[in-house]
Amino acid sequence: IARFGVGHDGIDKARATAAGLLCTNTPGVLNQSVAEHTMLLIGAAARTLVAMSASMMRHGWDQILGAELEAKRLAIVGCGEIGRAVARIASAGYAMEVVGCCRPDAPAPTALPHFRAVTNDFASAVRSADFVSLHMSASRDNLHWLNRERLGLLGERTWLINTARGSLVDEAALFAALAERRLGGAALDVFAHEPYAPAEQGADLRVLPNVIMTPHVASN
């Protein structure tokens, strides 16, 4: 079984092993694509692109105030190849201040190119962050890793970016944080249920004005 992509959580590897089937994936082929889409979502959030485009389609002319990305703080959670590609574009291309966050049970690297700092302390990594971008794997241990408690560590102006896996985020808790304006916004390419369906009744992310959504196309 050859998975054209990096993620292999959709394959029942225990059954494949029992059947004598070799499973492979194609690591590295989509790093740049996902990194570029991540930066696209960050830029769209900073410049309120979706709202202004929608206004123009309604014959409006709403010149909404945007923000420059230069010197903004980006916390990258997961410092693998895709996370490092995002750091390169954000730092070298936009002059953003990039901070990396590694797994809490692993020692943080002393230094990585394009990162101002790298830590394994999530709270310190996201403190004062303008954007927090997830680049973790979808392991069983990471299910709803970004729960209500960790979402509470993000600031009122912080945007969450997720181009990794939808299962990383407790979407019901995310909806509450966004609806109550405890979080600046969310730009999401991946979801717990795909095609997207709300995690709970009355928690439809599509009704919120501070949400940007794309249909799992970062790697396309």
Is 194 an annotated catalytic residue? yes
Element of type H or E holding 118: strand 117-119
| Inter-helix orientation angle 31-46/81-88, to 10° | 50
Over residues 26-68, the pLDDT tens digits come to 989 999 999 999 999 999 999 999 999 999 999 999 999 999 9
Is 216 an annotated catalytic residue? yes
pLDDT band of residue 111 (cuts 50, 70, 90) is confident
Q: What is the pLDDT of residue 154?
A: 98
Q: What is the pLDDT of residue 107?
A: 75
For 55-114, give the secondary structure using H, E and C. HHHCCCCCCCCCCCCCCCEEEEECCCHHHHHHHHHHHHHHCCEEEEECCCCCCCCCCCCC
Is 200 an annotated catalytic residue? no
* Sign, Cα dihedral of 166, 169, 170, 175: negative
Q: Picking from 3-12, 63-72, 172-181, 196-205, which range would have the lowest pLDDT averaged per residue?
A: 3-12
For residues 14 and 16, give the distance between their C-alpha atoms in angstroms, rounded to a whole number. 5
Instruction: State both tokens at 154.
Output: 């993000």
Q: Is 115 exposed, middle or buried (0-12, 13-18, 19+ CB in 10 A)?
A: buried
Q: Of the residues 114, 135, 165, 171, which is catalytic? A: 165
Over residues 143-199, the pLDDT tens digits come to 999 999 999 999 999 999 999 999 999 999 999 999 999 999 999 999 999 999 999
Q: Of the residues 97, 194, 200, 206, which is catalytic? A: 194
Spatial strand order in the sheet of 73-77: 117-119, 97-101, 73-77, 131-134, 159-162, 185-188, 211-213
Strands 131-134 and 185-188: unpaired
pTM of the entire predicted model: 0.94
The answer to whether residue 109 scores a pLDDT higher than 80 is no
Q: Evaluate whether 45 touches 189 at the Cβ level (below 8 Å).
A: no
Q: What is the pLDDT of residue 13?
A: 92
Q: From residue 118, how far is each of 101, 150, 168 by CA, in Å?
A: 6, 18, 21
Q: What is the pLDDT of residue 6?
A: 80
Over residues 83-103, the pLDDT tens digits come to 999 999 999 999 999 999 998
For residues 40 and 42, give the distance between their C-alpha atoms in angstroms, rounded to a whole number. 5
Cis link prior to 195 (omega < 30° from 0)? yes
